[in-house]
Amino acid sequence: MPDTGAQLTDTKLLQHFATLAQYQHTRERSSAALKQAFFVLAQARRSAGYSRISPDQYSGHAQPIATVNINAMEPDSSDGTMAVARRNEDSGGGVDPLLWFGMLVPPTLREAQSGFVEALDGLVALAQMKRELELQAEAITKSTQENSIKD
């Protein structure tokens, strides 16, 4: 009869490798989204003028349009989660930051904003997958140690 402890460890390893592959894919996608967003932002600055789109135009009362909520992740807890909370303009959260640059915002600036939002979603997913990978690695180590004690 095959060793069920070894099979369990093998199953955990396969799951870990699948999560790792997903992590790498998400990382590449997020990296590409960030690169594209910065490139499009540079295009917007070039087309509208470098002095028109700069930190000097930022409002002193700036409010983020998205925040990352992190539930405290205890070292022994697996229920730590992260989520992106979007500010809704209807809820009185303020105006779209793009309107600081005038009513006729260059389309490339809007495209850059959506690229950064997409990248933020990917980065939050990466953080969650990293935590999952850490938990899986701990479970594999524990399972391996239990198997070595049995032998």
CATH (domain of 100): 1.10.287.3240
Q: Express each pLDDT in 47-104 by its tens digit.
A: 877 777 777 767 677 677 777 777 745 545 555 567 777 765 555 556 777 877 777 8
* Structural domain count of the chain: 1
One DSSP character per residue, the chain reads: ---HHHHHHHHHHHHHHHHHHHHHHHHHHHHHHHHHHHHHHHHHHHHH-TTTSSGGGS-TT---SEEEEE----TT-S---EEEEEPPGGGT----GGGGG-SS--HHHHHHHHHHHHHHHHHHHHHHHHHHHHHHHHHHHHHHHHHHHH-
Q: For residue 71, what are the domain limits? A: 4-150
Q: Express each pLDDT in 6-27 by its tens digit.
A: 888 889 999 999 999 999 999 9
